[in-house]
Structure 1
Amino acid sequence: MSLKSPAFSSKVPVMLHGADYNPEQWLRYPEVLREDIRLMKLAGCNVMSVGIFSWVSLEPEEGVFTFEWLDNVLNSFAENGIYAFLATPSGARPAWMSEKYPEVLRVERNRVRNLHGFRHNHCYTSPVYREKTALINAKLAERYANHPAVIGWHISNEFGGECHCDLCQNAFREWLKVKYKGSLDELNHAWWATFWSHTYTSWEQIDSPAPHGETQVHGLNLDWRRFVSERTIDFCRHEIVSVRDYNPDLPVTTNMHMIDGIDYRELAKILDVVSWDAYPDWGYTEDGDDARLAAWTAMHHDLFRSFKHKPFLLMESTPSLTNWQSVSKLKRPGMHKLSSLQAIAHGSDSVQYFQWRKSRGSSEKFHGAVLDHSGHGETRVFKDVAEVGRILAGLTEVVGTSTPAETAILYDWDNRWAVKDAQGIRNSGLKYEETVLQHYRALWEQGIAVDMIGSGDDLSRYKLVIAPMLYLISEENGQRIEQYVEQGGTFLATYWSGVVGETDLCHLGGFPGPLRKTLGIWAEETEGLHSRDLNGLVLESGNVLNLSGDYDAHEIAELIHLEGAEALGHYRSDFYAGRPALTLNKLGAGEAYHLATRVKDLAFYVELYAAITSKAGITRTLESNLPVGVTAQLRTDGEHEYIFVQNFSGDVQTVKLDGRGYTDLESGAEVPAELELPVNGLAMLKRKAK
């Protein structure tokens, strides 16, 4: 059975390699534009994103359109075997529009309307902005949707932000009327508005959260975030509709960038292909742990891949440094190749950069680029990019291959929003994302593939489902998890789970709410610990996982009672010493684990998941013991498997293979039984699928 998806475009059915290209910045320098084409080919680049933030160059005055420069660029691309993601330019509006139609400018939480400037400083509700966007998009589509160089639509750029203008306030109220079926009583109950006499008696009394107004009604805060996300997605849909009919076969994407205010899982549903922008700060994290950062980046690659369970596109990354992180440190030798191929390993069919050529002025003139201000290819960065281009050109057989996973981690946007809005337990930091990473990294360290899914997704395809801090969960989704376990699935939840329902009201009858039967426990109290506090998890002798040890625990400790579950480990100290801290409940044909405290040590999570995944029959990419900081990721077409062994440890490492008959993916040569991986090194292997 083939496990391969079609390439992004039949015009260029290979790995895509390129960058954001801004030729409008260089129209006064025709020699630069000519040289760009030569150097693109030299770097092995086959696609560029063009038109991003180009609105004023396309429509310098209202109703006056100047497409000649873009004609020349796209025609030159077509003549030289280079393709284009054509962007809609809505990320930044021209000054003439802000001047003539001030309603397009955003109003901030303080209710002050912004001046013209920056990007995404516009109202997604504004009829004028929607009209003007549809018009420029239609003009672009009419002219270029069937151009031989164009392979897809790049809708806007990194959507984000929120507007609090009167138009958005009215749209929010209408959204609430639909959600609560026109009943203020239902809304007041859902928001627990009797608290502090917050009960609303008319829809007009409802305003979005404001620093000088309401911030303490958590149901309001959560619904506002959902509304902003849906409003943004609706605007993206509006843009897609404005271009789609001109060539329905032209795929559509928009580049995402982990902006907190958008539920990307929902945004992905209206796109043909998912793409995202990755900017990890290699080599200059505060703890100096590139392996942890690599796991964090891999987790997000897996998140975006999981939205559609097919290859995604890495739309932006930096070939060298950024200009907006706290320290602008260079990539170390080998890191560009390693980090680029990490994206491919986790399911990307592209490596794209921001940017092709450094701007001469303004805020991104010192942001990394393939071409520096020197303007030539005799640089370390250009040679690194050309090396990646050469490697990608040899990976055509990997294009479209799948990344199967038997393990999933639940990661819901509204849960994330609600966790961060909760007051109590540990206001100095609940560290939701860090908690998710702790569990993910333990699997990543062992080369176990992971999907990052939502509570409403199909659970039955997985042998193991992990729910770190599933604070917000509906009764319906709790029932789905219960059925998953009863039917033979393995489930693991942590502290601070099953606390509130979908409107951020606490579940009655005891925590973990709808997970209580599944986990077989009752959580009576949850304590936040100071940074100076330390407890521990001591594993019970003879436990069913055959684990042993005494591990430090910190930050959060949940005091639980057993209601059918058995204790696999207990607290080390304090007044709850000896009480359960790790439990297992057998339900139907499946098993459910609960971890009641945050354990500090990576080794604990690695050993825990090694035991759980072995018990659940989950396979690893390599049946070998991997050194800390080394991982292995698999892609497959059903007949062959492509293994990417990656060394983020910071040291030279040796990996013993498992004897399944490997060849080098680049050369086709047989691979020895032991791999020697240099610092920032990787190996790309091929083997027959079982």
Structure 2
Amino acid sequence: MVKLFEPVSKKVPKMIHGADYNPEQWKDYPEVLKEDIRLMKLAHCNVMSLGMFSWSSLEPTEGQFAFDFLDHILAQFSKNDMYVYLATPSGARPAWMAEKYPEVLRVGENRVRNLYGHRHNHCYTSPAYREKVTIMNRKLAERYAHHPAVIGWHISNEYGGECHCEYCQQAFRDWVKEKYQTLEQLNHAWWTTFWSHTYSDFSQVESPAPHGETLLHGLNLDWKRFVTDQTIDFYRHEVQALKSFNPDLPCTTNFMLLFDQLDYAKFAKELDFVCWDAYPAWHSNMEETDTAAWIAFNHDMFRSFKDGQPFLLMESTPSTTNWQDVSKLKRPGMHKLSSFQAVAHGSDSVQYFQWRKSRGANEKFHGAVIDHYGAENNRVFSDVKDVGSDLEKLTAVVGTTVNAEVAVIFDTENRWAVKDAEGPRNIGIHYEETVFDYYKALWENHVNIDVISMEKDFSKYEIVVAPMLYMMQSGVGERLEKFVEAGGTLVVTYWSGIVNETDLCFLNGFPGPLRHTLGIRSEEIDSLHDGQTNGVKTTKNNPLGLDGQYTARELCDLIHLEGAEALAYYTDDFYKNRPALTVNKFGQGRAYYVASRNDDTFYADFLTKLIDEAGVNRVLKKELPKGVHAHSRTDGETEYIFIMNFNNELTQVDLTESGLTDMLDDNPVEQCMVLDSYGVKVLKRQIK
């Protein structure tokens, strides 16, 4: 049964198209608002994010509120059938607040309080800041929670960072005490007998500091968990003030690309829907398909946070950024292709930062729909207008699901732990890159993929890939075992099943809870310097049908067979002829162990074989030209297929399939289809 989802707002039951709008920057330019609304309608925009970073305009001095300009803008939006996500302004506090209440400013890990400046330079624990945020949010909700133009709350902006002030230290001690209850349990979990760092009172607990404790990995891990929990608690604090006036108005905040300061999988549970800010570095020194796969990985991760519920692309740029190493212009076609890639992977919106370029300060050269010239007769506006027009033809796609039979585990807590492990390769353990190697090989097979945390349900997938699952939460090994036993295909790599949730090594052999499922035991792991390699050669007539010799690099695990069958062996060094790839038949399924980090050819060959063996459905049942990729969404009766050309040239695609309809022109699709340079087609297929 395919799960369908309601639009994020019943007032806008179609694809959302819009941008961050900052009219407070233009209060001295009264002609701008009228012109902006004309241009928004011309660009087929229907929803704007409004009020972000506007605290100084809304409360210019303490207790003196000024909502007239916001009243006027919302009234104009209502008259023009436009809607807003109204933002809370907590992402940046006004100067008067920092001057009167210096405690609202953050303290760094060096225990020095910051000066006023920047955004997100505020303490989430500070009673004064929480009080001021509550007052502001209640004022906003009292006035706008039932406004006809307001369809949701955009809470703050891109949460991140941490504070080490005394308020936060005490909150951390309370958090630790609640988790461990006794000093004995705390000292055991953090293994504090190492270097005689045993705590004799909870008051001795401090956050990691460069001039203090940084080498208790359990402490480091718990501090990061605390920072996530405290950030979530602050988010809840904001939402509570808003929901008390209208509990039905949805709340969200915008996430960032592969951000590692917060556990987004945990944070996402608090959101009514997920949104994120995507700024691909198109036309860089990377292959275009590598960039496309990297962004696809992020889209799939954000969609997977809430079990497939469509997300919103809350920010993107219609032209360029001003903060990347090289702020490259998008080539013709790329804006639409990039936007539709987000929709293909589960977005029900295309939104931009920003609507109009700022006249001054640090983002005055960041791309926008309207530049400093201020009119519509340019390339960028034309691109945005075309995207808006085409999005109106995709209303049927709204609320549909990405039906994924494959999942890749990418877990934030594991990410923290594996990068803090100090060994075996401190010049680069490359966790993210390793996960991406597996994801990209699956993506190039044109299968739909979920990117999930280790706490998710595995049972709905045919294949689960778990690269470098170094830290395993309690119960994860048992759930993966049941998944394989019931007929699933599991792929695990070197440096998995090493420590538990408090970073204590498993006893009785690695890969810990997965040893029985995988049928192997890891004895040692060899770290290779950059440039050093080994070889991996497949066995003849192995049951997977994999045939070839591959290059291993960086990490090579030395393992013993305990029921598993070797599919490949190392070719060099003292561990020549030891297993490098194994399979264990377990119950109705199979568990594979990849003992080394290998070249891209291995991932392509290995995962293609697994997809075939497991019977996973590809979006199109034929090989596509290099640089062309397919992804799909479905409502259970119709499949919506996005065919995307990431080549800077015309590319012919032979579909060898009839009965497809082009959703953008409503015409039947020829079996021989030509895609423009950076072109995209959206096809409709009836499911039999």
TM, length-normalised to structure 2? 0.98
Q: Secondary structure at the match of 1:161?
A: coil
Instruction: Read off the aligned partner of 2:454 and give its amino acid letter.
Output: S
What SS does structure 2 have at the residue aligned with 1:394? helix
Following TM superposition, by how much is the alpha carbon of 1:674 offset from its aligned partner in structure 2, in angstroms? 2.3
Moved more, 243-252 or 1-10: 1-10
Segments of structure 2 that go 5 or more residues without pairing to the other structure are none
Match of 1:332 in 2: 331
1-structure distance, mates of 2:561, 2:331: 51
How many Å separate the matches in 1 of 2:241 and 2:538?
Answer: 60
- How do 1:595-634 residues align onto structure 2 when only pairs under 5 Å count? 595-601=594-600, 603-634=601-632
- Pair 1:666-2:686 in alignment: no
Q: Which residue of 2 aligns with 1:389?
A: 388
Tell me which stretches of 4 or more aligned residues in structure 1 moved more than 6 Å: none
Aligned-partner Cα distance in 2 for 1:2–1:605:
30
Between the aligned partners of 2:543 and 2:650, the Cα distance in structure 1 is: 36
Matches of residues 541-620 of structure 1 in structure 2 within 5 Å? 541-601=540-600, 603-620=601-618
Q: Aligned pair 1:274/2:280, yes or no? A: no
Q: Name the CA distance, whole Å, in 2 between partners of 1:210 and 1:467.
A: 32
Matches of 1:385 and 1:666 in 2, distance apart?
Answer: 16
In structure 1, runs of 5+ residues without a counterpart are none
1:137-176 maps to which residues of 2 (within 5 A)? 137-176=137-176
**Deviation, structure 1 residue 650:** 4.1
| Structure-2 residue corresponding to 1:198 | 197
Structure-2 residue corresponding to 1:535? 534
Shift of 1:446: 1.2
Deviations 1:636-659 (A, max 9, x none): 111111000112244443322242
Matches for 1:297-312 after TM superposition, within 5 Å: 297-308=295-306, 309-312=308-311
Of residues 574-583 and 43-52 in structure 1, the stretch that sits farther from structure 2 once superposed is 574-583
| Offset, 1:536 | 2.0
Aligned equivalents of 1:599 and 1:504: distance in 2?
A: 27
Describe the superposition over 1:122-148 as per-residue Cα deviations: whole angstroms up to 9, x where unpaired. Answer: 000011111110110111011111111
Shift of 1:254: 0.7
1:500-519 aligned within 5 A = 500-519=499-518
Query: Which residue of structure 1 aligns with residue 5 of structure 2?
Result: 5
Counterpart residue number, 1:643: 641
Residue type at the aligned position of 2:662: D
Partner of 1:376: 375
Cα distance in 1 for partners of 2:573, 2:270 equals: 51
Offset from partner CA, 1:104-159 (integer Å, 9 cap, x none):
10000110000111011000001111111011011101111111111111011000
Return the offset for 1:675: 2.3
Cα contact 1:408–1:464 (8 A) shared by 2: yes
The amino acid that maps onto 2:40 is M
**Deviations 1:149-200, CA, capped at 9 Å, x for gaps:** 111110110000000000000000000001102x111111111111111111
- SS of 2:568 mapped into structure 1: strand
Structure 1 residue matching 2:282: 3-state secondary structure: coil
* Separation in 2, partners of 1:229, 1:128: 20
Deviation at 1:259, TM superposition (A): 2.6
Residue 676 of structure 1, CA deviation? 1.9
Q: Within 1, Cα distance between the matches of 2:66 and 2:395?
A: 38
1:679 to 677, 680, 683: 677
Q: Distance in 1 between matches of 2:204 and 2:10?
A: 54
Corresponding residue of 1:283 = 283
Output one character per residue of 1:435-456: Cα deviation in whole Å (capped at 9) or x when no partner.
Answer: 1111111111111111111212
Counterparts of 1:235-250 in structure 2, within 5 Å, are 235-250=234-249
Correspondence 1:398-409 to 2 at 5 A: 398-409=397-408
Q: Is the 8 A contact 2:658 2:669 kept in 1?
A: no
**Aligned 8 A contact 2:627 2:646 in 1:** yes
Distance 1:533 1:651, change over 3 A: farther
Query: Do the aligned partners of residues 651 and 495 (structure 1) sit closer, same or farther apart at CA in structure 2, a change above 3 Å counting?
Result: farther
Contact 1:525 1:558 in 2 (8 A): yes
Question: How much has 1:572 moved relative to structure 2?
Answer: 2.2
Tell me how far apart the structure 2 counterparts of residues 20 and 580 of structure 1 sit (CA, whole Å): 54
**Does the 8 Å contact 1:524/1:561 carry over to 2?**
yes
Task: List aligned pairs for 1:452-463, cutoff 5 A.
Answer: 452-463=451-462
Q: Distance in 2 between matches of 1:658 and 1:424?
A: 51
Aligned AA (1:672): E
Report the Cα distance in structure 1 between the residues aligned to 2:2 and 2:461, rounded to whole angstroms.
20
C-alpha distance in 1, partners of 2:136/2:341? 37
State the distance in 2 between where 1:153 and 1:658 align: 47
- Provide Cα deviations, 1:245-301, integer angstroms capped at 9, x if missing partner: 2112211111011331111111111111111111111112x4x21111111111111
Q: Distance in 2 between matches of 1:189 and 1:630?
A: 53
Which residue does 1:228 correspond to in 2? 227
Moved more, 479-488 or 646-655: 646-655
Contact 2:156/2:253 (8 A) holds in 1: yes
Q: Separation in 2 of the partners of 1:191 and 1:655?
A: 57
TM-fit CA distance, 1:355: 0.4
Assess if the C-alpha contact under 8 Å between 1:92 and 1:121 holds in 2. Answer: yes
CA distance in 1, matches of 2:200, 2:418: 29
- d(CA) in 2 for partners of 1:420 and 1:652? 42
1:475 is displaced (CA, Å) by 4.2
Compared CA separation, residues 32 and 11, structure 1 to 2 (3 A): same
Say yes or no: does 1:36 pair with 2:36.
yes
Measured after TM superposition, the shift of residue 683 of structure 1 is 1.4
> What is the rounded CA distance, in whole Å, between the counterparts of 1:420 and 1:570 in structure 2?
28
**Match of residue 654 from structure 2:** 656
Check whether the contact 1:622–1:658 (CA below 8 A) recurs between aligned residues: no
- Compute the displacement of 1:238 (Å): 0.8
- Map 1:198-217 to 2 at 5 A: 198-217=197-216
Q: Using a 3 Å threshold, how does the CA distance of structure 1 residues 652 and 581 change in structure 2: closer, same or farther?
A: farther
Aligned residue identity for 1:48? M
Tell me the distance in 1 between the aligned counterparts of 2:564 and 2:209.
Answer: 45
Alignment of 1:293-442 (within 5 A): 293-308=291-306, 309-442=308-441
| SS of equivalent to 2:523 | strand
The question of whether the paired residues in 2 share the 8 Å contact of 1:445 and 1:628 is answered with: no
Amino acid at match of 2:682: M
Aligned mates of 2:213, 2:532 — CA distance in 1: 34
Q: Which residue of 2 aligns with 1:488?
A: 487
| 2-structure distance, mates of 1:616, 1:2 | 20
Q: Secondary structure at the match of 2:576?
A: coil
Rounded Cα–Cα distance in structure 1 between residues aligned with 2:3 and 2:512:
39
Which digits, 9 at most, give the CA deviation of each residue in 1:284-327, with x for residues without a partner? 2x4x2111111111111111111112111000011111111111
Counterpart of 1:14? 14
Residues of 1 paired with 2:625 and 2:481: CA distance? 36
More deviation in 30-39 or 675-684? 675-684
Share of identical aligned residues, percent? 61
Summarize the Cα distance change of 1:512–1:650 in structure 2 as closer, same or farther, 3 Å threshold: farther
Q: Which amino acid aligns with 1:238?
A: H
- Residue pair 1:43, 1:382 contacting (<8 A) in 2 also: yes
Work out the number of aligned pairs and report it: 686
Counterpart Cα distance in 1 of 2:366 and 2:665: 35
Query: Structure 2 CA distance, aligned partners of 1:366 and 1:668?
Result: 39
CA 1:651–1:547 in 2, change beyond 3 Å: closer, same or farther? farther
* Separation (CA, whole Å) in 2 of partners of 1:301 and 1:519: 31
Whether the 8 Å CA contact 2:2–2:401 is kept in 1: the answer is no
Q: Distance in 1 between matches of 2:622 and 2:55?
A: 53
